[in-house]
């Protein structure tokens, strides 16, 4: 969602801000803006434009038009007030002295706005953010930090703020509560951003701000304060992501690059965790005592991460015989979940910043659960608030549609299921060894799956004109279908649904008519015969069937289905990990053929930081 950047140094700020904002475009936005302190005019210079960042950049000739070496920038994803120049950030106080960029939502903005308007303060936007700028000005008596402190006592909600004041031309104030903000420590310069990828070109030394933190950025360095406004020492963390990891590297789209990176991401994720035929979590363990008392597992996540949880439930229950509930982050806190100190709560998130998932985590913690998170972004909020973390090490994922994060999350959760089964004694040695051997084959077999991408491209060219597509499957294949369907709809805008095949005759089959495209998933060998019956069922009603199955079932499936995508045979636990790849590619090629904006689908954001 919205993105914040800020910099103070000796170089012209505007080009740096615009370049930083371009790194945040993937998060999703509808307008952009920058504010810099113009030292010759002695005032803030603010420029905003609705639409793509390029519009703003063209207006400012790439930033060359703006003098000044200190500034903040923003990409906005509209919540309060439609996308427009006026509603874009930075929002400025009525005197023009204070400029604010903001991610999050100020929940009590209406009440504060009414108060300020009652004081005769004019407003120019519909945003909640303008309230912050006006309120700082209202409390400002010559001491910026004091005014900000007074505002923080009055605003409620989630916010990451970057604040400029014309009277303080040599500093930027940053504040964080429930919305990510990262500080970059350079030589003679300091930076802020809501995402580490915007900092990598300038520095690898970062500070992850915590909730309630406030920081003052100057050319000489960064001073942090805690929520009581007392100076606080913060750890400077070295980020080890390669600068080009967040670049397209010759690929047309980030999504395609990230699909192709999956075997490598899996090797990074798995190889340190499988040593001499054993699963080893160096960074994580659960005591014997805890394991014996563990009575339930909850998996909490949103979107594709939730779909990982759906597969994980089948694996965990089958292997450990412990009941597993999978809950949507957005539902968890409203459903009176049964969690106690013997419940293991597995929180899954690529970004580590999804607000609903974070809220669920906090609720689970309040209820006493033990929180283990599976996260990609190191140092993210979910990672920091968990009792334990397993990082996926997939590297930066830029495309809104997740691919390599999904496969690494799934691999890690499956590995965890196997590890738990071994510890609980619910798996035989032979089955455990077979599972581990399967993991060793996974990256290579994924390479092989990807090498057949031309077949998928051909199927996409056959079917890209369909308006409605159904995914059906049973058990693991049903969970896989949920992800295949989401992938397709989010980037190609084709209406698509996933159903458990057995449910067809309870309603959905009435939608199947001549020419309806059904993607029939049947990778799970034990249920192949059942899957075939469902294929026949929909074919009889006129559907075109694009099937997905394993190499060993290909021939049989080809006798009935209209087209067949295949994956190599692999250990049953890992079928969804391979099976998702053709579905990702299918979604990608279909979206490409329909001319969609693949990396930045409409209305979507990479990291959903509002409820």
**Active-site residue set:** 2, 606
* Least distance CB 329 / ligand M6R (angstroms): 7
Give 189 or 482: the residue with its C-beta nearer to ligand M6R: 482
Tell me whether residue 517 or residue 598 sits nearer to ligand M6R (CB atom). 598
Nearest to 110 by CA among 95, 86, 126, 96: 126
Contact yes or no for 292/391 (Cβ under 8 A) = no
Q: Taking the CB of residue 433, how many other CB atoms lie within 10 A of it?
A: 13
- Cβ-Cβ contacts under 8 Å for 287 (sequence gap 6 or more): none
* Site map (CB under 6 A) of ligand M6R, residues 283-312, x = contact: -------------------xxxx-------
The distance of closest approach from Cβ of residue 376 to ligand M6R in the complex, given in angstroms and rounded to an integer, is 8
Q: Which is nearer to ligand M6R, 195 or 537 (CB)?
A: 195
* Residue length of the chain: 611
**Closer residue to ligand M6R in complex, CB, 345/608:** 608
Q: How far is the CB of 483 from ligand M6R (least distance, A)?
A: 8
For ligand M6R, the closer of residues 57 and 380 by Cβ is 380
Q: Print the binding letters for residues 328-367 with ligand M6R: x by CB under 6 A, - otherwise.
A: ---------------------xxx--x--x----------
Q: Write down the least CB distance from residue 307 to ligand M6R, Å.
A: 8
One symbol per residue from 441 to 480: x for binding ligand M6R (CB under 6 A), - otherwise; what is it? ----------------------------------------
How far is Cα 129 from Cα 146, in angstroms, rounded to an integer?
19
Closest chain position to ligand M6R (CB): 303
Residues 56-95 close enough to bind ligand M6R by CB under 6 A: none
Token pair recorded at residue 1: 């969602």
HSE, side-chain direction, 13 A CA sphere, residue 427: 23
Spatial CB neighbours of 247, under 8 Å, sequence gap ≥ 6: none
CB-CB contact of 199 with 186 (8 Å): no
Q: Could you tell me the CA-to-CA distances from 307 to 61, 247, 249, 310, 532 in Å, in that order?
A: 44, 27, 29, 5, 24
Q: What are 92's strand-pairing partners?
A: 99
* Smallest distance from ligand M6R to CB 401, Å: 4
Q: Give the residues across from 390 on adjacent strands.
A: 374
**Residue among 287, 308, 291 nearest 299 (CA):** 308
HSE, side-chain direction, 13 A CA sphere, residue 520:
31
Closest CB to ligand M6R among residues 357, 534: 357
By CB under 6 A, the residues from 391 to 420 that bind ligand M6R are 400-402
| Interaction pattern, residues 473-512, with ligand M6R; x per rule: CB under 6 A | -------------x---x----------------------
Contacting residues toward ligand M6R, per CB under 6 A: 302-305, 349-351, 354, 357, 400-402, 486, 490, 607-608
């Amino acid at each position: 969602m919205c993105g914040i950047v800020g910099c103070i140094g000796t170089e012209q700020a505007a080009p740096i801000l615009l370049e930083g904002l371009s790194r945040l475009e993937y998060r999703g936005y509808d307008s952009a803006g920058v504010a810099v302190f113009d030292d010759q005019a002695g005032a803030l210079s603010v420029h905003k434009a609705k639409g793509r960042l390029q519009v703003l950049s063209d207006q400012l000739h790439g930033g060359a038009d703006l003098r000044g070496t200190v500034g903040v920038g923003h990409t906005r994803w509209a919540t309060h007030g439609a996308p427009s120049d006026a509603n874009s950030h930075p929002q400025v106080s009525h005197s023009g002295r204070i400029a604010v960029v903001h991610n999050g939502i100020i929940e009590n903005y209406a009440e504060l706005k009414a108060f300020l308007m009652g004081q005769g303060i004019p407003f120019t936007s519909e945003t909640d953010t303008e309230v912050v700028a006006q309120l700082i000005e209202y409390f400002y008596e010559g001491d910026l930090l004091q005014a900000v402190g007074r505002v923080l006592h009055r605003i409620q909600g989630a916010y990451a703020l970057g604040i400029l004041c014309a009277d303080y031309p040599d500093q930027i104030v940053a504040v964080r509560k429930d919305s990510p903000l990262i500080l970059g420590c350079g030589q003679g310069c300091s930076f802020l951003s809501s995402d580490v990828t915007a900092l990598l070109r300038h520095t690898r030394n970062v500070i992850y701000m915590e909730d309630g933190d406030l920081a003052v950025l100057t050319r000489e360095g960064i001073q942090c304060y805690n929520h009581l406004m007392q100076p606080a020492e913060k750890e400077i963390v070295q980020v080890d992501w390669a600068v080009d990891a967040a670049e397209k590297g010759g690929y047309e789209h980030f999504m395609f690059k990230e699909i192709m990176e999956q075997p490598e991401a899996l090797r990074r994720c798995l190889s340190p965790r499988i040593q001499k035929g054993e699963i080893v979590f160096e960074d994580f363990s659960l005591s014997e005592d805890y394991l014996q008392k563990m009575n339930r597992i909850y998996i909490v996540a949103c979107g594709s991460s939730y779909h990982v949880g759906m597969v994980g439930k089948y694996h965990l229950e089958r292997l450990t015989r412990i009941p597993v509930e999978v809950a949507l982050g957005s539902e968890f806190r409203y459903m009176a979940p049964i969690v106690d100190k013997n419940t293991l709560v597995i929180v899954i998130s690529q970004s580590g910043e999804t607000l609903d998932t974070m809220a669920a985590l906090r609720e689970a913690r309040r209820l006493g659960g033990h929180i283990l998170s599976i996260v990609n972004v190191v140092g993210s909020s979910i990672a920091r608030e968990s009792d334990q973390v397993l990082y996926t090490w997939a590297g930066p994922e830029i495309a809104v549609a997740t691919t390599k994060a999904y496969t690494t999350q799934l691999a890690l959760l499956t590995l965890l299921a196997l590890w738990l089964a071994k510890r609980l004694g619910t798996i035989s040695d032979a089955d455990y060894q077979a599972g581990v051997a399967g993991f060793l084959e996974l990256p290579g077999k994924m390479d092989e799956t990807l090498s057949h991408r031309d077949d998928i491209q051909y199927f996409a060219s056959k079917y890209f004109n369909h308006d409605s597509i159904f995914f059906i499957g049973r058990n693991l294949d049903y969970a896989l279908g949920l992800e295949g369907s989401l992938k397709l709809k989010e980037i190609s805008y084709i209406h698509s649904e996933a159903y458990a095949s057995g449910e067809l005759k309870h309603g959905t089959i009435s939608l199947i008519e001549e020419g309806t495209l059904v993607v029939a998933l049947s990778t799970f060998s034990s249920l192949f015969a059942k899957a075939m019956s469902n294929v026949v069922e929909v074919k009889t009603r006129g559907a075109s069937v694009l099937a997905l199955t394993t190499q060993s079932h290909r021939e049989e499936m080809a006798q009935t289905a209209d087209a067949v995508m295949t994956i190599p045979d692999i250990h049953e636990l890992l079928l969804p990990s391979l099976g998702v790849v053709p579905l990702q590619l299918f979604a990608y090629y279909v979206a490409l053929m329909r001319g969609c904006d693949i990396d930045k689908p409409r209305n979507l954001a990479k990291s959903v930081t509002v409820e």
